[in-house]
Amino acid sequence: MTQELRPIKRVAISTGGGDAPGLNAVIRAAVLSGLKRGWEMYGIRDGFHGMLTPEQYPEGGIIRLTRDRVRGITHLGGTIIGTSNRNNPMRYPIVMPDGSKEEVDRTDEIVRAFALHGIDALITVGGDGSLEIGDVLAKKGLRVIAVPKTIDNDLDKTDVTFGFDSAVAFAVEGIDRLHSTAASHGRVMVVEVMGRYAGWIAVESGIAGSADIILIPEIPYDLSKVSQKIQEREQGGRFFTIVVVAEGAKPIGGKSSVVHKEAGRAERLGGIGEKVAAEIQEITGKETRVVVLGHLLRGGTPTAFDRVIALRFGAAAVRALEQGLSNVMVALDGQQMKFVPIEEAQGQMKSVPIDSDIIQTAKDLGISFCEPD
């Protein structure tokens, strides 16, 4: 955590990584709070692409954010300035003459672009990747405040990230709808949800949606326990089962299912729902269907909780700049906002503690995580 005494006139905002409900609320709060202090506010297009490839944008890679531009956007999903989860400027992929790809560091170009445009500070809104980039840029002389964003809720040092509540709410609605069709047909319904290597979405939506089985990365599952739970329900006269699977879940001794990986972006998970469904049908003989909620969890209108927390994050980021802070992340601690060094928050994934109250509550409700004895 550092302090900068230079006066602020211009502030840029970037949104990076996957989109999440509440991004526009952060932008609106930061812009209105900055304008109130007499600052000029700008948005960088598509993560840092606007800085690195401004020629690709008809109105420029950096756009002025006025009161009119942010009017009426709190309830909108997505981000009005665009985002990107590829082409990390620290590991930017370039095509070599032989057609191969090589990763280069372009963060110095971003620092020079800030100086060229006379921008005094950056508010970077994103997940762990954006935090890492923000930390590097701050150490190269930029004044940086980070706002934590991820539907996965896996960022450390903050009680919650905006977007998570909206994702869980939609997942629960989907699970609720599946109960009636599963019961009508006597089927096993497997619901795959996002979350990467943390099971927060799966756990909370599974509990709220009265799932019977929840499979998460933190607790490698035993397939025999999955079939055992289904058979126990059959013997009790309950001929359907709801299984919620986090995309990063893995069997004992196995690995998470990775469907794609390329230079400049994080590996993409997926396919575990289909795999689990196929295995259940083969072992139990029960008709099994899979529903992958996927990017439906990212889109749409943010819940009231996410709107309020996102607005608070955006306003707090501006207050941090006003206080002269740099290289810090805004974090929710109980009911208060605090500022923590970015380097303490990034690279530290917040997993679901297997001895936590929420896991014990699920077990007390009869939900199985299918761990071995």
Predicted pLDDT at 265? 53
Number of domains observed in the structure of the chain: 2
Query: What phi and psi, each to the nearest 5 degrees, are found at residue 347?
Result: 80, 5
pLDDT surpasses 60 at 264:
no
Closest Cα partner for 14 from 87, 72, 94?
Answer: 87
Catalytic pick among 152, 154, 156, 165? 152
Predicted pLDDT at 95? 82
Query: What phi and psi, each to the nearest 5 degrees, are found at residue 215?
Result: -115, 125
Give the residues across from 260 on adjacent strands: 268
Residues 197 and 263 in one domain: yes
322 part of a folded domain: yes
Residues 124 and 178 in one domain: no
Structure token pair of residue 70: 């942010």
Predicted pLDDT at 164? 97
Predicted pLDDT at 180? 95
Query: What phi and psi, each to the nearest 5 degrees, are found at residue 225?
Result: -70, -30
Read off the pLDDT of residues 294-323 as tens digits, 9 standing for 90 and up. Answer: 999 999 999 999 999 999 999 999 999 999
Residues 304 and 272 in one domain: no
Structure token pair of residue 85: 């989860």
Query: What phi and psi, each to the nearest 5 degrees, are found at residue 313?
Result: -60, -45
372 part of a folded domain: no
Torsion on CA atoms 55, 57, 59, 65, rounded to nearest 10: -120
85 part of a folded domain: yes
- Are the C-beta atoms of residues 287 and 278 closer than 8 Å to each other? no
Q: What mean pLDDT, rounded, does the chain reach?
A: 93
**CATH number, domain with residue 192:** 3.40.50.460
Distance CA 230, CA 185 (A): 15
371 part of a folded domain: no
Query: What phi and psi, each to the nearest 5 degrees, are found at residue 302?
Result: -70, 150
Read off the pLDDT of residues 164-195 as tens digits, 9 standing for 90 and up. Answer: 999 999 999 999 999 999 999 999 999 999 99
Residues 191 and 280 in one domain: yes
Residues 248 and 280 in one domain: yes
Residues 143 and 218 in one domain: no
Torsion on CA atoms 309, 315, 317, 323, rounded to nearest 10: -140
Predicted pLDDT at 102? 86
370 part of a folded domain: no
Residues 158 and 292 in one domain: no
**CATH number, domain with residue 67:** 3.40.50.450
pLDDT surpasses 90 at 246:
yes
Burial of 31 (0-12, 13-18, 19+ CB in 10 A): buried
Predicted pLDDT at 368? 97
Residues 69 and 149 in one domain: yes
- 152 catalytic? Reply is yes
- Are the C-beta atoms of residues 335 and 308 closer than 8 Å to each other? no
Q: What range defines the domain where residue 76 resides? A: 2-162+300-345
Read off the pLDDT of residues 353-369 as tens digits, 9 standing for 90 and up. Answer: 999 999 999 999 999 99
Residues ≥6 apart with Cβ < 8 Å to 131: 124, 146, 148, 155, 329, 342, 345, 346, 347
- What does the pLDDT average to over 48-62? 92
Read off the pLDDT of residues 271-283 as tens digits, 9 standing for 90 and up. Answer: 899 999 999 999 9
pLDDT surpasses 80 at 239:
yes
- Are the C-beta atoms of residues 98 and 45 closer than 8 Å to each other? no
Residues 232 and 360 in one domain: yes
Residues 147 and 67 in one domain: yes
Read off the pLDDT of residues 119-153 as tens digits, 9 standing for 90 and up. Answer: 999 999 999 999 999 999 999 999 999 999 999 99
Residues 108 and 40 in one domain: yes
Residues 177 and 261 in one domain: yes
User: Of all residues in the chain, what percent carry a pLDDT higher than 70?
Assistant: 96
235 part of a folded domain: yes
pLDDT surpasses 90 at 85:
no
16 part of a folded domain: yes
Of 96 and 33, which is predicted with more confidence? 33
312 part of a folded domain: yes
